[in-house]
């Protein structure tokens, strides 16, 4: 990625280039090509996914989703132009914080993200890589949901997916199971895991380890009295191992968080 200036508006922008260093090489004319025959197929698949991300984000307009201003294919690769925002990832923020995030701050971040995720799901899409590293906290603005490179159509089966993304601690169990069908509840597992990371300061036990029998104690048990009962219930509910035991939609979770925030405000 490169920081640049839009000569038409004089605004700072980010230029994101598809250049996977393990798969590609740059020629003297700045064109990008697969390193060799063995990486050509993966390079082309990745380029297709990069183009998909740019085209999807260019069509989505939400204040909490990173905005692609433009994109183009050139030099045998793809460039997308994104608006530049000052801030840091939630992952970096938690490392600096070194203590549990306050409930007020946690709710403000995830109410905004769930509203954005509702729009993504309403368009028949799944993000499939929600984690603190893909949540960007802007200075004096709400958070941004980043990196839609893993986005797929709802109900798309495993054999059709390109580059299955699995982030241990945040990806749901079905994301690494062959032929598993995924839906909005798959993203909600990652939302719950990201919320839990805000409390604990580190990723939760991975779904893979949980499937092997490693226990993840419920937040409602570990943090009772330190956070509201409903918030802890939401985190545990989103992180249920069985897809069908999780909330059905981002809107369902969003309404609960907004309701509780409203009740707390009224009580104060």
Determine contact, residues 170/193, Cβ cutoff 8 Å: yes
Given the residues 115, 129, 147, 187, the one annotated as active site: 129
Beta bridge partners of 5: 12
| Structure-block tokens of residue 246 | 């999780």
What CA–CA distance (Å, rounded) separates 206 from 173?
Answer: 8
**Residue 147: CB atoms within 10 Å:** 19
| Structure-block tokens of residue 243 | 């897809």
CA neighbor of 169 nearest in space, from 216, 203, 130: 203
Residue with tokens 């009772």: 224
| Structure-block tokens of residue 18 | 């598809």
CA neighbor of 254 nearest in space, from 117, 102, 104, 142: 117
| Interior/surface letters 254-266, b for 16+ CB within 10 angstroms, e for the rest | bebbeebbeeeee
Angle subtended by helix axes 229-238 and 103-122, to nearest 10: 40
Dihedrals phi, psi of 101, to nearest 5 degrees: -70, 145
CA neighbor of 126 nearest in space, from 143, 149, 103: 149
Annotated active-site residue 245? The verdict is: no
Catalytic residue positions? Answer: 129
């Amino acid at each position: 990625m490169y920081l640049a200036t839009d000569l038409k508006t004089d605004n700072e922008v980010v230029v994101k280039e598809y250049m996977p260093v393990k798969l590609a090489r740059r020629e003297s004319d700045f064109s990008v090509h697969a390193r060799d025959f063995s990486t050509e197929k993966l390079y082309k698949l990745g380029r297709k996914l990069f183009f998909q991300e740019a085209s999807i984000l260019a069509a989505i307009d939400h204040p909490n989703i990173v905005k692609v201003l433009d994109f183009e294919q050139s030099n045998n690769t793809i460039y997308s132009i994104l608006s530049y925002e000052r801030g840091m990832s939630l992952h970096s923020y938690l490392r600096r914080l070194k203590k549990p995030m306050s409930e007020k701050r946690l709710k403000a971040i995830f109410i905004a993200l769930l509203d954005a995720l509702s729009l993504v799901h309403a368009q028949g899409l799944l993000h499939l890589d929600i984690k603190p590293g893909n949540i960007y906290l802007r200075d004096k603005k709400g958070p941004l949901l980043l990196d839609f490179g893993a986005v797929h159509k709802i109900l798309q089966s495993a054999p059709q997916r390109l580059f299955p993304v699995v982030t241990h601690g945040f990806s749901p169990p079905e994301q690494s199971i062959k032929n598993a069908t995924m839906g909005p509840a798959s993203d909600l597992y990652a939302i719950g895991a990201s919320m839990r990371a805000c409390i604990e300061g580190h990723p939760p036990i991975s779904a893979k380890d949980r499937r092997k029998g490693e226990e993840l104690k419920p937040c409602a048990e570990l943090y009772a009295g330190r956070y509201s009962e409903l918030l802890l219930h939401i985190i545990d509910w989103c992180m249920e191992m069985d897809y069908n035991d999780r909330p059905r939609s981002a809107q369902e979770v969003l309404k609960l968080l907004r309701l509780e925030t409203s009740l707390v405000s009224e009580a104060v």
